[in-house]
Amino acid sequence: MRARFHAELEGVTATLVGMADGVTTAMQRASDALLSADAALAAEVRGDDARIDELYQRVDEQVSELMARQAPVACDLRLTITALNAATDLERMGDLAVHVAKIAERRAPESAVVPEIRDIVGGMADLTTRIGAKVSTVLRTADADTAAELATDDDAVDTLEQELFTVLLDPSWPHGVGPAIDAAQLGRWYERYADHAVNAGRRVIYVVTGESSPRG
């Protein structure tokens, strides 16, 4: 029974890997669309989110089937629910990539990223791409060191968000209210994406190893 439970849970994990790869690609392409003001690419990111939602649905079905067949209790039940929660984090990360893409699309052919914030937003884009890839790595390898790195990367995103606000609120900001609101929202979405990635990473470590990752 335990062996079959773990075989079914591995099926869930495989779908989670697909979700993690999907949301990493989604945020990377959304960032590319944003930084190059590419409306067509942004629209693709928006369309591709249906695929991530399908995988989320698939996790939900797999977990329901697993529970119906294996009726897990105690530790196994906790693992199963944690896998479901990791899927919720990943689904939300996909939505946040869509939010970024929508801003790119709405502003194109102009860029939503004015020169004053280009380095900061570019930095957030790089970090979140790296963070998404690390969540995939953690899912594939259950490497606790990589999971711990997520918290450090998340701190770096938070720091960049603060720098962004410093620029936006500086009296010398020349672009007025609209671009500032766009930029503040972009900052928030990258920051939320990183937060959910850290949560997903912790949950994945628990699902794959049965041990909680350090809260570092």
Site for its own copies in 59-78 (CB under 8 A): 64, 67-68, 71, 73-74, 77-78
Angle formed by the axes of helices 144-169 and 115-141, nearest 10°? 170
Choose the binding region for its own copies from 4-12, 49-57, 110-118, 178-186 (rule: CB under 8 A): 178-186
Give the Cα separation of 45 and 23 in Å (integer).
Answer: 10
By CB under 8 A, tell whether 1 contacts its own copies.
no
Give the Cα separation of 183 and 165 in Å (integer).
Answer: 9
Q: If phi over 0 gives left and psi between -120 and 50 gives alpha, with beta otherwise, what is residue 113?
A: beta
Torsion from C-alpha of 198, 162, 32, 119, nearest 10 degrees: -130
Site for its own copies in 80-99 (CB under 8 A): 81, 84, 88
Taking residues 130 to 169 in sequence order and writing x for each that binds its own copies by CB under 8 A, - otherwise, the string is: -----------------------------------x--xx
Interface positions with its own copies (CB under 8 A): 64, 67-68, 71, 73-74, 77-78, 81, 84, 88, 165, 168-169, 173, 176-178, 180-181, 184-185, 188
